[in-house]
A and B are shown apart, each in its own frame.
Chain A
Amino acid sequence: MIELSPTRTSGGRNRRRGVSPPRLAGLVGGSALAIYGITRRSPLGLVFTVSGGAIAALGAVQKRSRRQHSVWSAILVNCSREDAYRFWRDFENLPRFMNRLETVTILNRGRSQWTAIGPMGRRIRWYAEITSDRENESIAWNSLPNSDVEVNGEVRFVQAPADRGTLIRARIDYSPSLGTSSALAKFLNKGVNFLMRQDLRRLEAIMEAGEIPTIEGQSHGPRDVVTGAMRVADPTRPVRRGSNLREVFARRRSVA
């Protein structure tokens, strides 16, 4: 049976070792200062950003590999266990519903190469290896040593009672190792659980409806400045580093 009330809370952090209070204070305070600075958009703001970032970095340094984040979520999908397993087992399908994944390429011997858009539009690449594969029941994978990040994942497929379809339960453990910016990355990454739930909702739509509902590209009347700005800044859609910002923003402005 699947455990529906895991020991970890949803989106919670699994700390393997305690963080000393001063370091935690530096991390949180520094990050807050940095974010405040970013929002100021003035010379003083720049000072805040740099100094806050530095404090946060000092707070985060040395414990990169000691801290692991874990997120889990589950979704009930009206499809058979076989279909759900088959769809997920082909990792190249994953970018269809995991928004931040760019590509997954299957290599050999259960290995695959993954690229994703990380915090601040930075491209992250890692290699993964399937560690456990039980047909129609579960798949687990670990990232390999030569990766930008450490990401281990597991997904389980459980038959729901009374024709309710399949319960898909996914868990991701990750510990970013992006150098000193990792503290800020983690801070900004609070929404990972939210993103994961959104991913699973897209998976549900693909499995049940065959497509993901959208209004992107539909026609509309003239938008006001505020609405236009909200569309352009939409934080749920990452901008890849190095992409032509003018093009991205023009496209977003035209979006419903």
Chain B
Amino acid sequence: MKAVCYMGVEKMTVENVPDPTILNPRDAIVKITSTCICGSDLHLYDGLIPTMEQGDIMGHEFMGEVVEVGAGVKQDKLKVGDRVVVPFTIACGNCFFCKRELWSCCNNSNPNYWMAEQLMGFSPSGLFGYTHMMGGYAGGQAQYARVPFADVGPLKIPEGIPDEKVLFLSDIYPTGYFGALNADIEAGDTVAIWGCGPVGQFSIRSAFMLGAERVIAIDRFDYRLRMAEQGGAETINYEQVDDVVQTLKDMTGNIGPDRCIDAVGMEAHGHGLVHTMDRLKQKARIETDRPFVLRQAIQACRKGGTVSVPGVYGGFDDKIPLGAFMNKALTMKTGQTHMMRFMKPLLEKIEQGQIDPSFVVSHRVAIDQAPRMYKIFRDKQENCTKVVLDPWANGAMAA
């Protein structure tokens, strides 16, 4: 089958690899009909998260048709022919954490948990196509994928809904929603959201769903800010203001945004000496992340407010203003999304017509175009927001 493989930093290629097989009783094999490149894949593309290996199959946002199930999967849970969206987190369904619906913290789905324990003390759940530290599972930017614990994760999708409307239930829509939910939004709140990529866009819309009065979106690309405006947000282009924190103060009558959402993560762009230092340290591998946005969010948040972090961080970060965090009595909530909590309710919202997540798609291409699209997405060329790959199409099919 065709698969997008990590072959080194900034080097993705489409390789012909053997089709996946059932390895454990609760596995299933899914024939992938649609898959996409996630913003968090760009951290891997840039070589910033350790334990990637040459030859790893990329991708954690995919859907398709079940073509094989293991002996341990009950027919009423999942059977051959089912159309499913597969969540990016893998969960066993029966450990301490799964029982408490902390699905992304599952104790039994990461075969390389001991690697993650070196870095984090404890290991989160296994993820598709996202480093060996997170399990080393082959990902979904391919024609087929093996899905472990297939009776827990995959969400059945009724016929009649096009792929594009439900594909983002695999990660970014629930992740944007989880980011807004974690912000503990109350009626009348002003919510500031850094990053207007797909997760930011879904956070904007979810924040309104959860009762926010105002949403202020921050980015530097006009096309992304326009998309945020279409979702009802006011916008700040941080390259056109002197000071984002002061601007937010001015916009909120000096009280500050009640809730701040960092939908950017470890590769934040910014300016000034601190940002330059972050870039140098990241290059020299003495700091894994560039927490520019997190610092700003903590500074800007109103006293007693909440900082929610759906953005991905990889390791160790310098100069986090914990003094501000402590003295301003802030709350921080974060985590990889507990997917299985949100997929079904959010599918219902799509079915009821409350939201059509396909608005984020900017590119629809054949899988052979994936290597080129990684670069375009990373460099924000061609007004790129979201790339959907067709694993079965041949050659280019630009949109």
Contacts and interface: CB of A to CB of B under 8 A. Distances in A.
A165 B97 CA distance: 12
A220 B17 contact: yes
Interface of A: 76, 78, 164-165, 194, 198, 201, 204-205, 208-224, 227, 256
A213 B109 contact: yes
Contacts of A204: 95, 107-108
A76 B107 CA distance: 11
B257 interface: no
Contacts, number: 106
A213 B24 contact: yes
A215 B136 contact: yes
Contact of A209 (B13, B95, B136): B95
B55 A218 contact: no
Contacts of B231: none
Contact of B54 (A205, A210, A217, A223): A223
B95 A208 contact: yes
Given A78-B96, A217-B23, A221-B7, 12 more contacts: A201-B113, A213-B90, A213-B111, A213-B148, A215-B111, A216-B23, A218-B138, A218-B146, A219-B20, A222-B55, A224-B54, A256-B136
B18 A215 contact: no
B101 interface: no
Contacts of B19: 219
B137 interface: yes
A211 B26 contact: yes
B111 A211 contact: no
Given A208-B107, A209-B108, A215-B138, A220 B94 contact: no
Contacts of B21: 217-218
Q: What 3 pairs between A and B have smallest CB-CB spacing?
A: A221-B5, A209-B92, A221-B55
A220 B5 contact: yes
The CB with the most chain B CB atoms within 10 A, among A78, A208, A220, is that of A220
Nearest to A223: B55
Contact of A213 (B13, B56, B126): B126
17 contacts: A76-B96, A78-B95, A165-B96, A198-B114, A208-B92, A209-B92, A210-B26, A212-B111, A213-B148, A216-B23, A220-B5, A220-B57, A220-B138, A221-B13, A221-B55, A224-B54, A224-B55
B23 A219 contact: no
A170 B25 CA distance: 28
B57 A214 contact: no
Tell me what chain A mostly uses at the interface: helix, strand, loop, or mixed: loop
Given A205-B92, A215-B135, A227-B55, A221 B3 contact: yes
A227 B137 contact: no
Interface string B129-148: 00000011110000000101
Contact of A221 (B54, B72, B90): B54
A165 B25 CA distance: 24
A164 B3 contact: no
A210 B23 contact: no
A215 B99 CA distance: 24
Nearest to A256: B136
Given A216-B23, A221-B3, A224-B54, A210 B72 contact: yes
A17 B3 CA distance: 60
A210 B113 CA distance: 18
Given A209-B95, A214-B23, A215-B138, A222 B53 contact: no
A223 B248 CA distance: 49
A219 B3 contact: yes
A227 B54 contact: yes
Contacts of B17: 219-221
Contacts of B126: 213
Interface in B11-62: 13, 15, 17-21, 23-26, 53-57
Nearest to A230: B53
B110 interface: yes
B173 interface: no
A256 B111 CA distance: 12
Contacts of B3: 219, 221
A254 to B, nearest CB: 10
Nearest to B3: A221
Interface string B86-125: 0000101111100100000001111101100000000000
